[in-house]
Amino acid sequence: MREHNFLNQENKSMDEALRILTEAGAVITDSHLVYTSGRHGKEYVNKDAIYPDTEKTSVLCMMIAQRFKGKQVEAVIAPAIGGVILSQWVAHFLTFYTGRKVLSLYAEKTEDGEFVIKRGYDKLIANKWVLVVEDVLTTGGSVRKVVQATASVGGLVVGLGALCNRGGIKPEDICEGLDLFALINLKLESWSEADCPLCKAGVPINTDVGKGREFLARKQA
């Protein structure tokens, strides 16, 4: 019965999260989009649409904090830049729920695409139970590197919380035994430029989000 109630609560949180993200214009459908990978698709999760609204952002982070409040989290870390906002709010709510101070930290990307924990945060995170947070999971590459960077300085990763898992990422894609939770899970169909049915149908490229503007500039060069 307890597991059944827990799953019902998670489903309610996911429904509410989808409503909030859609209301904020963060979930885009029926458009012609170019993703960072270069592939094309019809749907997009625009994480930047949610961050200016502190109320909506805080509610989403509260949901993530609720999911992990029983994990004895002592610090929250995220990849910079966007994830820093999530780290702050999730740590804030975990501090409230647990009654003990939970630190908010972030990892920075290096020129070679790796992540490093600097600014003395490496000392703060050593030997602590750590929750990694991210906005959108596509390939899982960034958070995988953050998990590895955390472990390299002695942090003990207890889970990964995300706003959206749009890449079908599984816990084992990041590391074995990871507790992964995303507020919404979306399976986004995509095509290569050569196979894109939207290109063949002449549907205009969306230049407001994604890499559409860069795609058109390259085509016109």
pLDDT in tens, 18-41: 899 989 989 888 999 998 778 899
The answer to the question of residue 210 being in a domain is: no
The answer to the question of residue 201 being in a domain is: no
The pLDDT score that the predictor gives to residue 11 is 59
- Rounded-to-integer distance, Cα 193 and Cα 204, Å: 13
For residue 96, is pLDDT > 70? yes
- Rounded-to-integer distance, Cα 154 and Cα 151, Å: 5
In a 13 Å sphere around the CA of 140, the CA atoms on its Cβ side amount to 19
The pLDDT score that the predictor gives to residue 5 is 44
Q: Please state, rounded to an integer, the average pLDDT across all residues of the chain.
A: 90
The answer to the question of residue 20 being in a domain is: yes
Per the structure, how many domains does the chain have? 1
The predicted model gives 154-181 an average pLDDT of: 93
The answer to the question of residue 123 being in a domain is: yes
Expressed as residue numbers, the domain containing 141 is 2-196
The answer to the question of residue 215 being in a domain is: no
CB 163 within 8 A of CB 121: no
The predicted model gives 2-13 an average pLDDT of: 50
Q: Say which residue the tokens 């429904």 belong to.
A: 15
From start to end of the chain, where are the E strands? 27-28, 33-34, 40-41, 44-45, 75-79, 103-109, 115-116, 129-137, 156-165, 180-185, 190-191
CB 183 within 8 A of CB 17: yes
pTM of the shown model: 0.85
The answer to the question of residue 109 being in a domain is: yes
For residue 79, is pLDDT > 50? yes
Domain containing 101 — which CATH number?
Answer: 3.40.50.2020
The pLDDT score that the predictor gives to residue 7 is 41
* Inter-CA distances, 167 with 94, 105, 139, 141, 185, Å: 27, 25, 6, 11, 8
The pLDDT score that the predictor gives to residue 97 is 97
The answer to the question of residue 202 being in a domain is: no
User: Would you state the structure tokens that stand for residue 173, as one six-digit string?
Assistant: 């894609």
The answer to the question of residue 211 being in a domain is: no
Closest CA to 119 of 86, 77, 157, 83: 77
The pLDDT score that the predictor gives to residue 43 is 87
User: Would you state the structure tokens that stand for residue 80, as one six-digit string?
Assistant: 């910079």
Q: How far is CA 164 from the centre of its chain?
A: 6
Closest CA to 77 of 132, 137, 140, 159: 132
